[in-house]
Structure formats: C-alpha cells, structure tokens
Chains A and B, each alone.
Chain A
Amino acid sequence: MRIKVNADNCTGCRLCRQVCAIKHFEEINPAKAALWIEAKFPDPGKYKPHVCIQCGKCVKVCPEGAISRDTSTGAHIVDKTKCTNCGICVSTCPEKVIFQHPDLNHVIICDFCMECTTVCNVDAITKWDVMKPSIAAGKEA
C-alpha cells in the first residue's frame, strides 16, 4: 500500500496532519503527524504534500536497526524500544517525513493506516493499493 500524491489538488488545509496525530497519539497536535505540506507562496502559489515514499533509506542508515519494513503494508516500522532518537534517519529522508517531537524519545514514521486519505476532500493524497515492486519482491529499494 502506498499514498499517491496529486500535488496540484492540495489546498493546504492540513486536515491530514490533524487526523494523523489524533489517530496515532490521541491528541490534537499536528506537530506529531507523519506527513507535511510544503507551501510555496507567494510565487508560484502551490502546495505539495510530502509522504513516505518507502524508499528505505531510513532502514539503511539507522545505527540501531530500529527501523524495519512491514512487507504486508510496505510501511517502515519504528521499534520504539530500540530507537534512540538520534535523528540520523531524519536528516537522511529525502521527503523530510520522519519527525521528532520533544514529548517523544523516538522518531515518527508513517504506518500507512490511510486515515489521512479518508478525509482529504480533494484527492491530493489517495490510497494507492499497490505494493512497491521492490518491496513486493523482497528486494532492497
């Protein structure tokens, strides 16, 4: 499973970030969401959602081996007992979708629950029911 991004549709409402944090942390706090919206204003005046693209770079750079792939969903799962919150994966992520928060001692990565896609009213992010081929084949990204 993946999330398809249709950047031209995005209106910058960030409803996705609200529901993400509520779903995973039971609080209204978009700072704990696992996706973000880039806003390019005033010129050219466009938004772009950034979501996990399952590239797997975080898995490779994690010195603790705390990040692993869930081959059934394609998500990269953080083992909270192993993660030291060192931040190496954060700076490595090409989409900047690995997050840290002062309340937490581990990083936040999308688990592809897809709740965000159920509220997006403009199809800027949609559920993409295909497995990334490399993951389906059990290969490295």
Chain B
Amino acid sequence: MADGFTGTTLRINLSNGEIKKLPTDRKLMRDWYGGRGIVAKICYDEVPRDADPLGPDNVFIITSGILSGAFTPGGSKVEFGSVSPLTNGQGDSNMGGHLGPALKFAGFDLVIFSGISPKPVYICIDNDKVEIRDATKYWGMGSLDCEHVLKQDLGEDFEIATIGPSGERGILFSCISHDFGRQAGRTGQGAVMGSKKIKAIAVRGNKAIKVHNLEALYKHTYDIIQRTKEHPNMEPWQKYGTSFFIRWSNDNAVMPTRNFQTTWYEDVEKIDGESLVTKCLVTHKACFGCWMNCGKYSKAVIEGKKTVFAEGPEYETGALCGPNLGMHDINHVVYINYLLDNYGMDSMSGGGVMAFAMECFEKGLITEKDLEGHTMKWGSIDDVEHFLDMVVNQRGIGAWFAGGTRKAAEKIGKGSEKFAMQVKGQEMSGYDGRWAPGMLLSYMTADIGAHHNRSWTITVDMAEGRETTEGRAKIVIYLQHIRPLFDTWCSCRLFWGELDITPEEYAEAMNLITGWSDTIDQALKVSEKIWNLNRCHYLERNKANGRTFDYPPARSWEDKIPSGPGKGKGVSLEQVEAMLDDYYRERGWDKNGNPSRALLEDLGMGFAADNLEKSGFLGKPLEGGIPKVRGEKYKPKAF
C-alpha cells in the first residue's frame, strides 16, 4: 500500500451484522485518489441502476482522503457518498471537523455500509475494535443533542457523526452532523444514513498515519503556516469566516432575497457578519489542524424562546436563511440554523425549501388552512418554527416539502416550478446567477445539482463581464475539476481560494505523503474522470439525454432582477442555451449533453462508454473530435 493510506477497508453489512476488514484496493486508490473519487467509483460499480437510494441496495460510504489528518493545509475533511435520494444521481458530501482524521488514526481508509439494519444502531470504531451497537436509546434525538449524549456515554475523545429526526424519517435533504456544527449537508446523505438505521458513527484512534517523507512534508506545511499567517486575508477570515461575504454578495447583487426574487437585501446590516460577531459570537472554532478558524460558534437569545447554540451561520446558511427568508435579526438566523442543525436538515436546502414555501404562501398557492392555521410570512421566526415542525413530522403539506423543493413544486403545481430554485432536485446555493452567468452555468451542470462547491464564478463573472456568457464554459469546466479535487483529497479548498496556497503545493503535499510524483495536471485529469463517471452514472439512472436535466428554473431567464444594483439585469433563454452548447462542446459531450466514446476512452473509461451505449445515451461522435484540453486554467479572486 502506498504511504498515506492505512491499508484497511471496513465493509459492514447492516442486514446481517457482518463486519469484514479487508485490504484496501491499492489500484482503486491509485486510479481514483480516494475521497470523492473512490466514492464515485464504488457507487458506480456496486449500486444497481434501479436501486432505491433509500433501499438496501444503495451503499453508504464514509472515507477520508490522502490529505486528511496528514499535517496538510485544511486536511480535515471526511467524505460521505451514496446514490442521492434528492437527485437520483451519484451523491457525495463532506465536512470538516475531526472525524476524517480520526478514521485514519483508527486505522481505516474507508467504511462501506450495505443493507439495512433491522433496528436502530450506531457504529463504534475504537481502533481495531469495531462494533454495531444498539441505538434505541438515541433514536429520535436531535443531531446536536445526540452527539452530546454520546460523548458523555463514550468519552470526550470520540469523534462522532450523527443524524437527527429528519434523517431517521427519510426527509430527502437531511444532513450528517459532527463537532456541534459541522455538516455534510448536500445530496441527502443523512437520509441515506437514516434509511440504513445508523443513528451515529463514533470513532477513536491512536495510530500513526504513515507518510512517505515526513521530514519534507513537515517543512512544506510548516513553511506554509508561517507564510499564510501574514496573508492580508487572514485577519478578516479569522474574525468573520465566510459570513464576511454576506455584505459582499449583497453589494455585488447576487444575494438570494425572498426566494431569489431579487438579488439585494435592504436589511442586510441586520444579519451580516458584523452583526453576527458583535451580537451572537461565543467562540471562534476551527477544524482539525486549521489555523484560519472560519467557524463562528454562536448563541441566539430571543425573548420567549429557549437560548440555543449553533455553529454559524456561515455564508450559505446566512444567505439562504437570512435575506432569502427576509429575516431582520441575526439572532433569528442563528436560531433557524440551530433548528435545522438539530433536526438534521441541510441548512442550505432547508433555507431554500422554506423560502419556496414563503413565496407559495405569498402567492396564495398554500394557505393558512394548509399550515394548520399558521402563516408562512417573510421574516417570521414563529412561522419558520411551525413549518419545520410540520416538515420533520411530515404532517399535512409538510410531507410535500420533505421531498425538497422540486418534489414540493410537483405537488403544488400551478406554475410553482418556475420559482422552485433547484437543479436536479438539489436546492441552489446562496448566489443568484441571473447577473452572474457563469454561476448559473455552474448550477446547471453540476453533477449533484445546484451546489456552488463544484464551481463558483462570481468573481470570474465580475472580471470577465456579467452580461456576456462567452468564454464562461471553459472556466466553469476548469473550476469543476479543481474545486472537487479538494473533496477528492479530503482537504478544505479555502486555503487555495483565500490564502493563495497554490494547487501545485497541494499536489506536492500529496506526493510527499504517498510517494507518488503526480503533477497538478495529472490530478486534474483524475478529477475530470470522476466528473464524467458521475455524468454517465446519472444518465444511466435517469434514462434521458443529459440536456434534459441541465436547465435551471424558468425564473432564471424569465424574470429580470427587480431591484438593487442589479435592477433590470438577467440572462435570456437564448444565452442559457448557448452556454449549454458551449459547455458540452468544451467537455467533449454531444449536443444532447451526453459524453462521447472518444472522450471516455481518452480518460481511460472505455467501460463507462460501453455501459452508456447499452443504456442508449452514449454521445454521438463530435465533428472535429474532442477538445484536447477540457477546461481553461483560471484563478478566481476569492472562494
């Protein structure tokens, strides 16, 4: 086994309780790097195309990649993966904290769960001792509450991931929580964990991570630490974390406001980063080995409600549960953050789902009668609290929203799908793409739906022109390779975006850990391979041409921005179509958005071309052949 890996894979069949310790597949790790890559390949290989994502045939994987835990910048992540119940495509989501490193210290590269447990369980990994334990006592607890109780029961030194009632009950945008505020939120990984009846995973380890050249790695990272301490972004980052960008996004007219109706919020000063740190901050909080502590652990004090603690809101939650819900008090945003965290709901999708419900209420598509006598008004914390109770208990129309925005719009009808702000079933991140066309294209084409971590282009759009779509596809493609590469390494990308650590420096860390000598271009090629494998997986499962799934909701081109600095701006449907055409061509896909054989073979994935051909969705050969290089190197200013 290459250095950097523990060499052991756990396979746990929850249906029969069998626990197997197997040698980690060396070739698989070499070809796919681990993290997001290994998760994509295992799901592609092992989950039948017609399997119910919440059924026994889906797998559920937890893994930490090469950089996690291994004294690298931002090396703290843990990756979860399975076929997503929210998108019905390959799903992955990751979080920081301390769990990923702990898994390695316990001696495991990855854990692959299959089947469904007959009763609620939690998994206890204490170095070599791995047990499936009864979780009846914990079932029903909130995510944060359960972590607290498990720490009391097992010991403070266990690192614990939990789900809340939301994941237990199959609400499709459920998340996995850890470290009292870190979440793997997207793609409904919490719902999959809940479907398998896993309430929690507790890990403790005291083994060393073996690396190829520790002396050089130590110098490499130590020098980066000392260099970045002096970086001008360090101080604001440490003070505000991502909440700094609330004001920035608003000033630049990309802030989702009242369900993406407009892009500028008039009361931003009431919910921005400054109000967070002055009114609610309890402590700055960092992930494993991170020296820029973006976490803001906060307290909400609201008259008539219990005082609660939550980590955040970071930017996404702050935007999607702040301006997007029309909130006027940062304490209320922290309180909503807490509610979603403790229920175990993704606070990004949660914000999107609630904003959608509020607009439906505003337009009379749902009424007080539907809401058990309550309203669902912008800015009302009481309405939010009641609505979430309906959703988590799937009471009345709460059950519609439990499936996320797309499914709720299908139930409500009456044209509501126009403003159901999602792509492929995944709710949009906290940026409106109407005056940031690259961002819109990023949402449209991301493998997991409208999530910004695949590609974030606001500064690109500002630099290259916010009213033109030309040339954006190549940049989006590059970003879709480099940003998910960090998820493949299980490392935080923020050091790259914010502190100017170069991609080459990350690749160097990988090589010092593993003994490999891969260039950054080779690493990007692995990332491109993963991207295309996920596309093939999506097409095989959803059985239609890729283009069918790549459109944003019609608000994106039908409604111009009505207010703020972006007033009157917006893209046309023609521009949306043109961006897709450009994007497919630059990717080596045909006009239907299907990968061609030439491309898949160029990436060493003839097997994927064969499978796609059998399913009827292999792309037609491209006139003039595929582009030699897909994506254009670009360094965005931030994020």
Cross-chain contact A13 with B208 (CB below 8 angstroms):
no
Q: List 15 A-B contacts (CB under 8 A).
A: A11-B285, A12-B285, A12-B286, A13-B289, A13-B293, A18-B289, A28-B71, A28-B209, A41-B297, A41-B309, A44-B282, A45-B297, A45-B299, A46-B282, A121-B293
Cross-chain contact A42 with B180 (CB below 8 angstroms):
yes
Cross-chain contact B214 with A13 (CB below 8 angstroms):
no
CA distance A30 to B289 in the complex (A): 10
Known A31-B206, A38-B156; further 5 A-B contacts with Cβ < 8 A: A11-B283, A11-B286, A45-B309, A121-B234, A121-B293
Cross-chain contact A13 with B286 (CB below 8 angstroms):
yes
Give, as a whole number of angstroms, the nearest-CB distance from B248 to chain A. 23
Q: Which residues of B contact A (CB under 8 A)?
A: 69-71, 98, 105, 144, 148, 156, 179-180, 205-211, 214, 218, 222, 225-226, 229, 234, 238, 282-293, 295, 297, 299, 309
Residue in A15, A28, A38, A119 with the greatest tally of chain B CB atoms within 10 Å: A28
CA distance A118 to B70 in the complex (A): 19
CA distance A118 to B291 in the complex (A): 12
CA distance A39 to B208 in the complex (A): 23
Cross-chain contact A121 with B69 (CB below 8 angstroms):
no
Cross-chain contact B283 with A47 (CB below 8 angstroms):
yes
Q: Which residues of A contact B (CB under 8 A)?
A: 8, 11-15, 18-19, 22, 25-32, 38-39, 41-47, 101-102, 118-122
CA distance A52 to B98 in the complex (A): 24
Provide the residues of chain B in CB contact with A46, threshold 8 Å: 282-283
Cross-chain contact B293 with A42 (CB below 8 angstroms):
no
CA distance A13 to B179 in the complex (A): 12
Cross-chain contact B289 with A14 (CB below 8 angstroms):
yes
Provide the residues of chain A in CB contact with B295, threshold 8 Å: 11
CA distance A46 to B298 in the complex (A): 11
Give, as a whole number of angstroms, the nearest-CB distance from B609 to chain A. 40
Cross-chain contact B283 with A119 (CB below 8 angstroms):
no
Cross-chain contact A31 with B105 (CB below 8 angstroms):
yes
Cross-chain contact A119 with B69 (CB below 8 angstroms):
no
Cross-chain contact A122 with B293 (CB below 8 angstroms):
yes
Residue of A nearest to B101 (CB): A30
Give, as a whole number of angstroms, the nearest-CB distance from B158 to chain A. 12
CA distance A70 to B144 in the complex (A): 45
CA distance A22 to B105 in the complex (A): 14
Cross-chain contact A15 with B105 (CB below 8 angstroms):
no
Residue of B nearest to A27 (CB): B208
Cross-chain contact B207 with A29 (CB below 8 angstroms):
yes
CA distance A15 to B71 in the complex (A): 8
Provide the residues of chain B in CB contact with A39, threshold 8 Å: 156
Residue of A nearest to B228 (CB): A121
Cross-chain contact B293 with A41 (CB below 8 angstroms):
no
Residue of B nearest to A38 (CB): B156
Provide the residues of chain A in CB contact with B284, threshold 8 Å: 11, 122
Cross-chain contact A22 with B209 (CB below 8 angstroms):
no
CA distance A30 to B206 in the complex (A): 8
Give, as a whole number of angstroms, the nearest-CB distance from A58 to chain B. 22
Cross-chain contact B225 with A121 (CB below 8 angstroms):
yes
Cross-chain contact B291 with A28 (CB below 8 angstroms):
no
Cross-chain contact B180 with A15 (CB below 8 angstroms):
no
Give, as a whole number of angstroms, the nearest-CB distance from B283 to chain A. 5
Residue of A nearest to B180 (CB): A41
Provide the residues of chain B in CB contact with A19, threshold 8 Å: 71, 222
Provide the residues of chain B in CB contact with A26, threshold 8 Å: 214
CA distance A119 to B226 in the complex (A): 7
CA distance A116 to B179 in the complex (A): 23
Cross-chain contact A29 with B206 (CB below 8 angstroms):
yes
Give, as a whole number of angstroms, the nearest-CB distance from B494 to chain A. 14
Cross-chain contact B292 with A15 (CB below 8 angstroms):
no
Cross-chain contact A43 with B309 (CB below 8 angstroms):
yes
With A119-B225, A121-B291 known to touch, is A101 a contact of B206 (CB < 8 Å)?
yes
Give, as a whole number of angstroms, the nearest-CB distance from B240 to chain A. 14
- Which 10 pairs from chain A and chain B are nearest by CB? A31-B206, A13-B286, A121-B291, A27-B208, A11-B286, A29-B208, A11-B293, A45-B282, A28-B209, A41-B180
Provide the residues of chain A in CB contact with B282, threshold 8 Å: 44-46
CA distance A42 to B292 in the complex (A): 21
Cross-chain contact A42 with B144 (CB below 8 angstroms):
yes
